[in-house]
Amino acid sequence: MNSYSPYSFPIFDAMKIIPVACALIFSDGKVLATQRSQSMDLPGKWEFPGGKVEEEESPEECLKREIREELSIEIELFGKISPNEFSYPSKKICLIPYLAHWTGGEIYLTEHEQFLWLEEKDLLSLDWAPADLPIVHELIEKWVKLVDSKER
């Protein structure tokens, strides 16, 4: 998979768009969602774990780092779905979703309130961060293909 820093594209700087990488982690036909804690931005909202991509870092490197820090597990990336730009009152982000397998370790949350393994039917029942909604819809559209082709 290509590795690049989003900051090498001047538009991210010029428009003050913050690149945020997130991982849709699949295991046993389910996908992992995490709930933001009260000490985080968007408290109580559900998201896909990840974080802001730092300068000189690719989204892929960012994810490996963030997933280790936030969940203490290892993942292997196998693809991407469509990124989504979203303006919150105080910032504009570009959320970049990657598809991943859980490859090792046990989940231990260091920042989030809780996590859930979701089946397709559960996906619309959570109170997602607004930037995630188009990603959740694309995930639903492609669910069978993603789960079937990448089941371990």
The whole-angstrom distance between residue 21's C-alpha and the CA centroid of its chain comes to 6
Give the binding-site size for ligand 8DG (rule: CB under 6 A).
16
Going residue by residue from 35 to 74, which x/- string records binding to ligand 8DG, judged by CB under 6 A? -----xxx----xxxxxx----------------------
Question: Does 22 contact ligand 8DG by CB under 6 A?
Answer: yes
Nearest residue (beta carbon) to ligand 8DG: 51
User: Across-strand partners of 98?
Assistant: 23, 80
Locus of tokens 């490996």? 64
Binding ligand 8DG by CB under 6 A: which of 31, 100, 131, 136? 131
CA dist list (Å): 27 to 40, 104, 150:
26, 11, 9
Cβ proximity to ligand 8DG: between 86 and 143 the closer is 86
Beta strands in the chain (DSSP E): 17-27, 30-35, 46-47, 50-52, 74-80, 84-88, 91-104, 114-118
CB of 23 to ligand 8DG, least distance (A): 9
The contact set with ligand 8DG (CB under 6 A) reads 20, 22, 40-42, 47-52, 93, 95, 129, 131-132
